[in-house]
Amino acid sequence: MPGSGFLRASGRVAARAIAPFYRRFPYRGAMDIFKLDPRGAYSPIEPFFYSRVPKAANTSITQTLFEHTKFRPLTTRREHPKYQFLRPLFLSQQEVNRLEHEAFKFTFVRDPYSRVLSAYLDKVGRRRHQGLRFLKWSQRHNQPETFLGFCRYLEAGGLFLDMHWAPQVDILCLPLECFDFIGRVEHLNRDLAVVLERLFHVKAAGPATHAGTHTGASESVDDAYGPEERAIVTWLYADDFERLGYDRHL
């Protein structure tokens, strides 16, 4: 039976064969492309393209964009704002050309230390389905269900099993150099205001709309990280630290 790596590679080949977006912007990351694709949000009106990074305020940002854009899809099966934009896989060649040359392309990223902790607190701590594989692994390998155990799970092969904790540079729909703007969750109100003024010519009057779950991870980093947790995350997310400009020192 083909391994997961083979299936991911097959998905990338299939996407390049049928989708103008992936012919123009081939995905070379480690994730399944069909998990990646729903993370792209294109509006043809402004136009803009937002690459949604899980656990980087993407629910709040998507909600805010939805509240301001006039774009609405002709058909959609689900009402949540993140399903109201066009996905890369379904863009025509003309739309891809416009995306490349006219659209404002942006994403938001987060300090890897707090992002990984947030994924653990949300998906494992709240017993969501994304965390069940780690919990089964911890039982089989006699590892604690703590954050330390989760870091060991990532190191043992769990890193790319879910978008919520996969390295950010590996789950962007576009190459990093193609983005016009890269905002930071640490400065969400300031950076989202830049996006709103650029796209909708409005000035943000206050804090960004809060949607999704809040784990308090950013305030808990110092307590959660010991020497081993820090060593594992620093190693596994080395590209995020380097290419996104985050400090490895806690």
Quick count: other Cβ atoms within 10 Å of Cβ 5? 10
- In this structure, which amino acid lies at residue 35? K
3-state secondary structure of 224: helix
For residue 73, what pLDDT is reported?
87
The Cα 156–Cα 215 span in angstroms is 25
Check whether the bond before 47 is cis (ω within 30° of 0): yes
For residue 205, what pLDDT is reported?
59
State pTM to two decimals: 0.91
Burial 142-152 (b: 16+ CB within 10 A, else e): ebebebbbbbb
Which regions of the chain are under pLDDT 70? 1-17, 76-78, 204-212
- Which residues is 104 bridged to in the sheet? 48
For residue 242, what pLDDT is reported?
98
For residue 172, what pLDDT is reported?
98
pLDDT in tens, 34-44: 999 999 999 99
Give one DSSP letter per residue of 103-169, joined into a string.
SEEEEEE--HHHHHHHHIIIIITTT-GGGHHHHHHHHHTT--SSHHHHHHHIIIIITTS-TTTS-GG
